[in-house]
Amino acid sequence: MFRGFYTAASGMISQQRRQDLLTNNLSNANTPGFKADQSSLRAFPEMLLSRLGEASIGGNSISTKKQVGSLATAVYMQETMPNFRQGDLQETGNNLDIALLQGTVPFNEETGSQGALFFTVETEQGATQLTRNGNFSLDANGNLVTSNGDFVLDTNGNRIQIEGSDFTMDSNGLIPELGVQVNVALVENPDQLEKAGNGLFIAENEDVIIPSAANPEVTYQLKQGFIERSNVDVEQTMVEMMNAYRTFEANQKVLQAYDRTMEKASNEIGRLG
């Protein structure tokens, strides 16, 4: 009986976590460069049930075991990972907005993962991180920065300093008047990246961040005056949120049914007349 409580409760917890994930996706539907999270639910290992009994053969009692079948015990959210699908481009007319349009990237046959491209940025603490949010601006010193103040890096790993927003950039990220090129990095297995908030991703090992400017296996375009929109599918997210809510509700009703059964068992069974 108690196993039913655990199974229903684990289903409620998993759907609550899934609902939180979908809510976060929906709230970032208008965040430039945002990559929607996706989750996978997994059942705990199944238990094989057997019924034990006895049979009388030749006057002797022999133990018997008959297989009943398998029983799933609970479910949990195994992992969450971003979906790195390219978002739509939106024209803004702002020279500081740079959209990264991904072309061809290597496919890793060992991991079954498609590579992904990112801008490289430097945080105030000096760490190198990655982003697809090209909604850039200039700080007080003329450095090209992200919306949360991280420095955009060039192909030499240096900050890019621009005198005003009246500049041009070609499709490779080269700013002719400065002679510097915005760095676009390749990560062959982006599933290894961790979200750091504010549209940033962290690589545990910076060796996985590969410069792609001179890589013949990589093609991309930088479009000045555009931003990459979030890749959240609002309609599909709403449908999944409704499914998560109804599954949560179904597990809740099962839990309530178990609770009523246990109440009846404790209050009525065994009562003396």
- Compute the CA torsion angle 201, 207, 212, 217 (nearest 10 deg): -110
Task: Report H helices in the chain.
Answer: 2-27, 234-267
Residues 255, 223 within the same domain: no
Q: What is the mean pLDDT of the segment spanning 124-128?
A: 89
Given a cut of 60, whether residue 90 has pLDDT beyond it is yes
Structure tokens at 161: 């300093």
Give the pLDDT of residue 101.
94
Structure tokens at 256: 């309530």
Q: Report the 10 Å Cβ neighbour count for 75.
A: 19
Given a cut of 60, whether residue 184 has pLDDT beyond it is yes
Give the pLDDT of residue 272.
52
Give the pLDDT of residue 250.
93
What's the one-letter identity of residue 10?
S
Position 8 in a domain: yes
Q: What is the mean pLDDT of the segment spanning 97-116?
A: 87
Domain that includes residue 101, residue range: 89-228
What's the one-letter identity of residue 7?
T
Residues 67, 93 within the same domain: no
Given a cut of 60, whether residue 1 has pLDDT beyond it is no
Position 272 in a domain: no
Residues 100, 34 within the same domain: no
Position 11 in a domain: yes
Residues 155, 206 within the same domain: yes
Position 60 in a domain: yes
Residues 29, 48 within the same domain: yes
Position 198 in a domain: yes
Residues 97, 68 within the same domain: no
- What stretch of H or E contains 25? helix 2-27
Residues 51, 103 within the same domain: no
Given a cut of 90, whether residue 41 has pLDDT beyond it is no
Give the pLDDT of residue 269.
67
Residues 98, 76 within the same domain: no
Given a cut of 70, whether residue 270 has pLDDT beyond it is no
Residues 66, 172 within the same domain: no
Residues 100, 146 within the same domain: yes
How many residues in total does the chain contain? Answer: 273
Residue-wise pLDDT for 128-167, tens only, equals 999 999 999 999 999 999 988 999 999 999 999 998 888 9
> How confident is residue 124, by pLDDT bands cut at 50, 70 and 90?
confident
4: DSSP letter: H
Q: How many domains does the chain have?
A: 2
Q: Report the 10 Å Cβ neighbour count for 22.
A: 25
Query: What is the average pLDDT score of the chain?
Result: 88
Residues 96, 223 within the same domain: yes
Position 186 in a domain: yes
Of 16, 39, 55, 32, nearest to 232 (Cα)?
A: 32
| 29-38, 236-245, 258-267: the lowest-pLDDT one | 258-267
Given a cut of 80, whether residue 232 has pLDDT beyond it is yes
Q: What is the mean pLDDT of the segment spanning 14-27?
A: 94
By the 8 A CB rule, do 101 and 90 touch? no
Residues 188, 96 within the same domain: yes
Position 273 in a domain: no
Prediction pTM value = 0.80
The partner residues of 202 in beta bridges, in order of sequence, read 194
Residue 186, class by beta-carbon neighbours within 10 Å (0-12 exposed, 13-18 middle, 19+ buried)? buried
